[in-house]
Amino acid sequence: MTSAFRIPVHDADAGGSEVPLPEFSRDWALFLDVDGTLVELAEHPRAVHVEPPLIQQLGRLQRLAGGAVALVSGRSVIELDRLFTPLHLAIAGQHGAEIRHANGKTDLDRPRTAAAAAARRALAALAESQAGLYFEDKGVALAVHYRRAPQLGPLVERTLSEVARQSRGEFVMQTGKMVRELVPHGKSKGGAIAAFMREPPFAGRLPVFLGDDVTDEGGFAVVSQLSGHAIKVGTGNSAALYRVAGVRSVRRWLGAFADWLEKHAH
């Protein structure tokens, strides 16, 4: 049976086609990407602002879902805490290189090698040499954003690809929307979701993951392998079975899920 909750594939197209989303269930574990999923993409990472209604909505979901709600993002845990204060959610930050478990314990894979230091220097030098680039040192993952200078995308990709090669496997390059990142080898959003699913309060539940970017595809693969639901936000090829139009659709859907959980709480 499909869910009665349906949303348009294209928000701007009042006559757009609609697709059924999975039927709500009390045994879901909810995993949410942030940029492009919960909040609109911004020209600069620091320009993103999270409105109080979204924070209240996530807090309500966390309570109704027995704590089985986690953010899965390229941002660091400290940055996500800043955005979503006063919430204290389980978080997979920096594409899974940093995990704060539901019990508050934090795992951080922080490479302290010559290759990591060399990568930081190379990316900082690239950003300083080209107007419009922004180097973001997240603590583990290293990113160069070029949304303000799209023409520099090929240069950014070549540079990070070469730096990853010189790291001799310590880093891999990840592709995002107007950003390229170096992430420790073996770390991914999919791996983080799999780790959460082995521990309370997520264990024994059905994983549901919403994401908008190429970096979310690994998460989609993991939840599909676990018989969960992968939901792609926006356009573009994806392995996700389900799709919603954008941030506004995500928020409506989360609100409907919270209402459903409250109605079926007993």
pLDDT digits (tens, 9 = 90+) for 60-75: 999 999 999 999 999 9
Does residue 7 register a pLDDT over 90?
no
Q: Is 33 a catalytic residue?
A: yes
Please compute the mean of the pLDDT values over residues 85-91 and round it to a whole number.
Answer: 97
DSSP structure class, residue 22? P
Average pLDDT in the chain: 91
CB burial string 38-61: b at 16+ within 10 A, e below: bbebeeebeebebeeebeebbbbb
Does residue 213 register a pLDDT over 50?
yes
**pTM attached to this predicted model:** 0.90
Assigned CATH for 6-109+187-263? 3.40.50.1000
Which is more confidently placed, 46 or 131? 131
**Alpha-carbon gap, residue 233 to 199, rounded angstroms:** 27
Please compute the mean of the pLDDT values over residues 43-67 and round it to a whole number.
Answer: 95
Top-tier CATH class for 114-184: alpha beta
The active-site residue, picked from 11, 13, 33, 216, is 33
For 118, the 3-state DSSP assignment is: helix
Where does the pLDDT of residue 223 fall: very low under 50, low under 70, confident under 90, or very high at 90 and above?
very high
Does residue 251 register a pLDDT over 90?
yes
Number of Cβ within a 10 Å radius of residue 203: 11
5-7-13 Cα angle (round to 5): 160
Provide the residue ranges of all domains of the chain, joining segments of one domain with +. Answer: 6-109+187-263, 114-184
Where does the pLDDT of residue 187 fall: very low under 50, low under 70, confident under 90, or very high at 90 and above?
very high
